[in-house]
């Protein structure tokens, strides 16, 4: 009654010169750029930290003073392939995994 019927009109065809010769490549460019930025901002620094941590763990030797994951300080008394014996107090030793070592301290830090 008060509303007239509306009909959609067909869109005119785009001229051949207006179409991109690269097709959908320009549409994917922002996504590719996001992954490149993600790699340099997040992934690459994390891989560098992992490499440094692995080198530090491989270099641990008897007598080194270390900080273990829970914040426990101690001196390495025995080393093995996967486990370390850490003396945390006089006569008190704990066995920890090598990967639990967070930091190697300078000699003489623990008294």
Q: pLDDT tens track of the chain, all 111 residues? A: 677 777 777 777 666 555 556 667 778 888 999 999 999 999 999 999 999 999 999 999 999 999 999 999 999 999 999 999 999 999 999 999 999 999 999 999 887
* Residue 13 token pair: 């065809």
Kindly report each contact of residues 40-45 with a partner whose C-beta sits within 8 Å and lies 24 or more positions away, as own/partner. Answer: none
Check whether residue 85 and residue 55 sit in a common domain.
no
Check whether residue 71 and residue 111 sit in a common domain.
yes
Predicted TM-score (pTM) of this structure: 0.67
The closest alpha carbon to 63, from 77, 46, 45, belongs to 77
Instruction: Name the domain count of the chain.
Output: 2
Query: From residue 93, how far is each of 31, 40, 74, 96 by CA, in Å?
Result: 53, 42, 9, 10
Q: Is residue 104 part of a domain?
A: yes
């Amino acid at each position: 009654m008060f509303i007239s019927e509306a009909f959609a009109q067909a869109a005119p065809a785009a001229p051949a010169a207006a179409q991109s010769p690269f097709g959908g490549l320009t549409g994917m460019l922002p996504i590719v750029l996001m992954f490149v930025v993600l790699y340099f901002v997040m992934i690459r620094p994390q891989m560098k930290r992992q490499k440094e941590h692995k080198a530090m763990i491989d270099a641990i030797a008897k007598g080194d003073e270390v900080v273990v994951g829970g914040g426990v300080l101690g001196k390495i008394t025995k080393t093995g392939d996967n486990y370390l014996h850490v003396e945390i107090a006089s006569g008190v030793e704990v066995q920890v995994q090598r990967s639990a070592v967070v930091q190697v301290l300078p000699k003489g830090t623990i008294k």
